[in-house]
Amino acid sequence: RTLPTRPVIRQLDEAAINRIAAGEVVERPASAVKELVENALDAGATRVAVVIAHGGKSLIRVTDDGCGMTAEDLPLALSRHATSKIDGSDLLAITSFGFRGEALASLGAVGRLSLTSRVEGQDAATVSVSGGRMGKVAPAALDCGTVVELRDLFHATPARLKFMRTDRAEAQAVADVIRRLAMAEPKVAFSLHDATDGRDREVFRADPEPGDAITALGARLARVLGRDFADNALPLAGEREGLHLTGFAALPTYSRGAGVSQYVFVNGRPVTDRQLTGALRAAYNDFLSRDRFPAAALFVECEPRLVDVNVHPAKSEVRFRDPQAARGLIVSTIRAALTGAGHRASTTVAA
């Protein structure tokens, strides 16, 4: 028996580890934008301005007016598994978007990243990292808050670069991410500009919505999904086993043939969850034919311990402790709203 030459086991260096992890966190420019905008929101920003070029492939810049970081914070923010959002003792009490402490480390491993930040009452500072190598922290000029600039995403991982779609498709995905987060935070101002080849085109803008929570949400949904949706949508309010549902569901007559017009948020986090969209579909079963898609924006709120958000590095999947309660809540609340609005089940109409 001939044995292969014995391979050597070695510890990978930090840059390699980050590049590997980045594969899960940053799939495309839109996922980078998602992480950066979530960081801005976690920092308590009231305005988040995003600039991209070439669909985010050559440039992503996110500016916020949040709490900022000190000069000492900057290298920590860029290192892996460093976070200010949890202390590690309780993964069941997460109330922020972030908690894994790996987005900035990953982005710095697969692109050229620079962080410039200022905490009120202190001097601003800046630091850059490229291909996982961090430069020195230097003084900078900035009013307040944070500017994160990411250039040449995936220049360090050519294999991933090949999977990028057209600038147009990537820009579209970036806009979708911002629209979703804008729905989740009606009181925050969002903007997206496209600065490809030195131009400056406003792609999306939402000013802070006035009024109480449901009024502001209605106004923001009108802004993001269109007046047409808002005029055809019923407000939702339901409760089951500690889970609360608010949001809006469109009248069956507003249904769409295809395309995404279904948005689900769990504790303010945009999620893609087959079970929850399945429940949405089921709620409309008797009101809509199979080839039509109900439009809705659903906001499920609960105590953090009733839902696990630590399912995947991108944090867009969740697991409810009681999935049947989540499903039942969605089905019964929407059915009640549709029935209350006088929309009799189509089966009854046909009979």
Residue placing its CB nearer to ligand ADP in the complex, 86 or 195: 86
102 binds, among ligand ADP, Mg ion, none (CB under 5 to 8 A by kind): ligand ADP
Give the shortest CB-69-to-Mg ion separation in angstroms: 12
CA-based nearest residue to 213, from 180, 190, 247:
247
Is residue 335 within 8 Å of residue 284, measured between CB atoms? no
Of 94 and 280, which CB lies nearer to Mg ion in the complex structure? 94
Residue 98 sits in the site that holds Mg ion (CB under 5 A):
yes
Rounded distance between C-alpha atoms, residue 250 and residue 115, angstroms: 42
3-state SS of 4-30 is CCCCCCCCCCHHHHHHHHHHHHCCCHH
Q: Rounded to the nearest whole angstrom, what is the least distance from the CB of residue 162 to ligand ADP in the complex?
A: 26
Q: Which of 153, 118, 184 is nearest to 33 (CA)?
A: 153
CB of 54 to ligand ADP, least distance (A): 23
Nearer to ligand ADP, 58 or 116 (CB): 116
103 is an interface residue for Mg ion by CB under 5 A: yes
Residue span 46-85 as binding mask against Mg ion, x where in contact by CB under 5 A, dash where not: ----------------------------------------
- Ramachandran area for residue 235 (φ above 0: left; ψ -120 to 50: alpha; else beta): beta
Binding site for ligand ADP (CB under 6 A): 35, 39-40, 43, 64, 66-69, 77, 83-85, 98-105, 146
107 near Mg ion, judged by CB under 5 A? no
The HSE-up count of residue 259 (CA atoms within 13 Å, CB side) is 7
Given a contact cutoff of 8 angstroms between Cβ atoms, the answer to whether 267 and 301 are in contact is yes
Distances (CA, A) of 160 to 27, 109, 128, 231, 312: 8, 13, 22, 42, 19
Given ligand ADP, Mg ion, none, residue 85, with its beta carbon under 5 to 8 Å by kind, binds ligand ADP
Taking the complex as a whole, the smallest distance from the CB of residue 34 to ligand ADP amounts, in Å, to 10
Per rule CB under 5 A, is residue 157 in the interface with Mg ion?
Answer: no
Which one of ligand ADP, Mg ion, none interacts with residue 84, CB within 5 to 8 A by kind? ligand ADP
Tokens of 39: 């960081």
**Residue 59 site contact among Mg ion, ligand ADP, none (CB < 5 to 8 Å, cut-off depends on kind):** none
Inter-helix orientation angle 29-42/167-184, to 10°: 20
**31-50 residues near Mg ion, rule: CB under 5 A:** 39
List C-alpha distances in Å: 197 to 114, 155, 176, 200, 270: 21, 19, 22, 9, 31
Give the residue with the Cβ less far from Mg ion, 314 or 325.
314
Footprint of Mg ion on 203-262 (CB under 5 A): none
Q: How far is the CB of 171 from ligand ADP (least distance, A)?
A: 22
> Could you list the residues that contact Mg ion (CB under 5 A)?
39, 98, 103
